[in-house]
């Protein structure tokens, strides 16, 4: 959800789908296996999409992120932030990672933690990466430090792949281009994901 909020919404805005009514709001965070999350998604109806020329990604200017913890110690989020920063600080000074701890009614039914990181460029390109802990009782337990470092490496991988849209949103960009008017849209993509 965090990745969609950070990357898909700006992409929709480029195609002319915008306004105050476009939003994703996280009411409750759910983690697998039992879930229990709740998201509010609102989007205005548009009859026509505008064509886009989006071929220069530009240089990275800042990194933002969210480290969330659900039904576990709030310290987990802080540990993820520290380990992610230990890698990203070598490349960029402007890094801010929010911590989001949910407990009680606002949390889902299963414990867990995760992280979403986004790199923004001077030209409005947003690249993202995310990781979450393994569901309770499935797979090996993941340390928050490990998860933070791996998420930072995934983000650097996305930056290395290049393109104006990250691998998560390639298919969305192409779909919106197809639905647009009979006009030329151009988008620069990195290596295509298997799904794309």
Calpha distance 109→147 (Å, rounded)? 21
Q: Is 17 left (phi over 0), alpha (psi -120 to 50) or beta?
A: beta
pLDDT at 182 (0 to 100): 83
- Average pLDDT for 129-154: 94
pLDDT at 120 over 90: yes
Degrees to nearest 5, angle at CA 153 with 8 and 59:
60
Q: What integer best gives the mean pLDDT of the chain?
A: 94
The answer to whether 63 and 118 are in contact (CB under 8 A) is yes
Task: State the pTM of this model.
Answer: 0.93
Residues of the chain by 3-state class (helix, strand, coil), percent to 5: 30, 30, 40
pLDDT digits (tens, 9 = 90+) for 66-117: 999 999 999 999 999 999 999 999 999 999 999 999 888 889 899 999 999 9
Superfamily covering domain 1-187: RNA 3'-terminal phosphate cyclase, insert domain (3.30.360.20)
pLDDT digits (tens, 9 = 90+) for 13-68: 999 998 889 999 999 999 999 999 999 999 999 999 999 999 999 999 999 999 99
**Length in residues, the chain:** 196
């Amino acid at each position: 959800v965090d990745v969609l909020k950070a990357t898909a919404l700006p992409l929709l805005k480029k195609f002319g789908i915008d306004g105050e009514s476009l939003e994703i709001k996280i009411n409750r965070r759910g983690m697998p296996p039992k879930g229990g999350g709740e998201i509010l998604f609102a989007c205005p109806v548009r009859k026509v999409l505008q064509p886009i020329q989006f071929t220069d990604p530009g240089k990275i200017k800042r990194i933002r992120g969210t480290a969330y913890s659900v039904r576990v110690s709030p310290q987990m989020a802080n540990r993820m932030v520290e380990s992610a920063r230990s890698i990203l600080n070598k490349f960029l000074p402007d890094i801010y990672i929010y911590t989001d701890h949910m407990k009680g009614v606002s949390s889902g039914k299963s414990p867990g933690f995760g992280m979403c990181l986004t790199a923004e460029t001077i030209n409005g390109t947003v690249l993202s990466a995310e990781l979450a802990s393994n569901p309770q009782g499935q797979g090996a337990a993941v340390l928050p430090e490990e998860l933070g470092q791996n998420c930072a490496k995934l983000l650097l991988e996305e930056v290395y792949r290049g393109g104006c849209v990250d691998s998560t949103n390639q298919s969305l960009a192409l779909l919106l281009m197809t639905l647009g008017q009979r006009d030329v849209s151009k988008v620069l993509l990195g290596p295509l994901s298997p799904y794309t």
